[in-house]
Amino acid sequence: MGKVPNCRFCNSSLQHTLVDLGMSPLCESFLAADQVNRMEPFYPLKVYVCGRCFLAQLEEYVSPENIFTEYAYFSSYSDSWLQHAKNYTELMIERYKLDQKSQVVELASNDGYLLQYFVQKGIPALGIEPAKNVAQVAIEKGISTITEFFGVELAQKMAKDGTKADLLLGNNVLAQVPDINDFVAGMKITLKPGGVITMEFPHLIRLIQENQFDTIYHEHFSYFSFLVVEGIFAAHGITLFDLEELNTHGGSIRIYGRHAEDESKPVSGKLLEMKNRELAAGYDKMEVYAAFADRVVETKRKLLKILIKAKEQKKRIVGYGAPGKGNTLLNYCGIRNDFLEYTVDRNPYKHGRFTPGTHIEIFPPDRIWEDRPDYLFVLPWNLKEEIIKQMSFIKEWGGVFIVPIPEPEVVSDF
Ligand SMILES: [Zn+2]
């Protein structure tokens, strides 16, 4: 056991474990063939929950500079995510009457997947994106982008240059910030007096209730309930005044924030309703967090039972998909070539590469058709309806699906 870390928000020492998924490599570190026999770094994947403020969090084992400076994730590869971004920009332009005189700033703007829709409408937009290779794509699209990590220092520099935001947004970035106090304090500086903040992040309540333990990875330092997030923003002079529940990333919330002093935007009744729901479910007490770890271990045993039974019957199992979350699952459950012969994925970048830690080779999806395996193990379970529909031809040779989450099951009726 190493030393006990402190909470990244309230600095209390972290005495409680939410779940311990053992040692795992970074989930996006796919290996080329010549890397498979080399050493691979593994880091603990252990989530704590703070006994004082209830922020669920990983210790920062790997610095964001190491993870995000050169990053393989490009938001524009996902059609449904692009549509989500487009709908969002239309909603914001309409609701906050944004025009040529407004300034939009996005934190973690990736390849400009979202800001492009503001730029198309002639609304000034600035991205902040530390991953240089990803930011470069945005810049080539004509989207102004600063390639630095955001926090108080950058916010002050921007303020000196006269850059402040009418709309300050960040999607799926809050979880990836190790110094959350510095990040939110920076937002307070960048927001204009009458401006609006929106942030989207996966909802911890959904993660726990729907057993989504494989969405825990080293890139995600924090896991938020609404109660916790409201407390963090309040500590930095930002009042949350509205929220929406979204189905993205297994279940997210979008929060709306404003300066505490800006009373022109009343607080929606939805906030009280959400808080009451979280309190009723016990998210301000340790018991609900403490019960999660047992359910995760039980899921591992159930899944392995299905796989062992299939192998004892001499069945062949192959994977579908090679998402980041799949790597958490495979490493935690110890699923390697002894169970999965290989997996397939639509992303050509991954073809011929191997999953980190478990070294399962990745092929194009056509291979399933030629190879006719008995079981198809669906790793991106959040897309299971779509995948089962797309791959339903495995029925021709009696093939069936295995879906691991929320509860491991064999799907033979499709
Ligand atoms: Zn805390």
Cα of 375 from ligand 1 centre, angstroms: 44
pLDDT bin (cut points 50, 70, 90) of residue 133 is confident
Please tell me the pTM assigned to this model: 0.92
Å from CA of 64 to ligand 1 middle: 21
Q: Residue 156 Cα, ligand 1 centroid: separation in angstroms?
A: 27
Residue 28: what pLDDT?
85
* Mean pLDDT along residues 29-48: 94
Q: How far is the CA of 229 from the centre of ligand 1 (A)?
A: 11
Query: What's the 10 CA to ligand 1 centre distance in angstroms?
Result: 4
Q: Which residues line ion ligand 1, judged by CB < 5 Å?
A: 7, 9-10, 12, 50, 52-53, 55
Residue 77, pLDDT score: 65
- What is the tens place of the pLDDT at every residue in 308-362? 999 999 999 999 999 988 999 999 999 999 999 999 998 888 999 999 999 999 9
Query: In angstroms, what is the span from residue 8 Cα to ligand 1's centroid?
Result: 7
- Mean of pLDDT over the chain: 94
Distance 228 CA to ligand 1 centre (A): 9
In this prediction, residue 297 carries a pLDDT of 97
> How much distance in Å is there from the Cα of 187 to the middle of ligand 1?
20
C-alpha of residue 11 to centroid of ligand 1, in Å: 6
* pLDDT for 2 beyond 70: no
pLDDT tops 70 at residue 169: yes
Q: Which pLDDT score is estimated for 310?
A: 97
> pLDDT value at position 121?
96
Amino acid 362: pLDDT: 97
Give yes or no for residue 34 having a pLDDT over 90.
yes
Distance 54 CA to ligand 1 centre (A): 6
Q: How far away, in angstroms, is 189 Cα from ligand 1 center?
A: 23
pLDDT of residue 15: 94
219 Cα to the center of ligand 1, angstroms: 19
pLDDT of residue 346: 86
Residue 1 has pLDDT above 60, yes or no: no
Give 386 or 379, the one with higher predicted confidence: 379
* Structure confidence at residue 72 (pLDDT): 61
Residue 17 CA, ligand 1 centroid: distance in Å = 13
**What percentage of the chain has pLDDT greater than the value 70?**
97
pLDDT digits (tens, 9 = 90+) for 59-106: 888 877 777 666 666 666 677 788 999 999 999 999 999 999 999 999
Q: What is the 3-state secondary structure (H, E, C) of the chain?
A: CCCCCECCCCCCECCEEEEEEEEECCCCCCECHHHCCCCCCCEEEEEEECCCCCCEEECCCCCHHHHHCCCCCCHHHCHHHHHHHHHHHHHHHHHHCCCCCCCEEEECCCCCCCHHHHHHCCCCEEEECCCHHHHHHHHHCCCCEECCCCCHHHHHHHHHCCCCEEEEEEECCHHHCCCHHHHHHHHHHHEEEEEEEEEEEEEHHHHHHCCCHHHCCCCCCEEECHHHHHHHHHHCCEEEEEEEEECHHHCEEEEEEEECCCCCCCCCHHHHHHHHHHHHCCCCCHHHHHCHHHHHHHHHHHHHHHHHHHHHCCCCEEEECCCHHHHHHHHHHCCCCCCEEEEECCCHHHCCCECCCCCCEEECCHHHHHHCCCEEEECCHHHHHHHHHHCHHHHHHCCEEEECCCCCEEECCC
Q: State the distance from the centre of ligand 1 to the C-alpha of 221, rounded, in angstroms.
A: 13
pLDDT at residue 75 in the model: 67
How remote is the CA of residue 373 from the centroid of ligand 1, in Å? 48
Is a pLDDT exceeding 90 seen at residue 112?
yes
Mean pLDDT value of segment 192-213? 96
CA of 226 from ligand 1 middle (Å) equals: 14
The per-residue pLDDT for 386 is 87
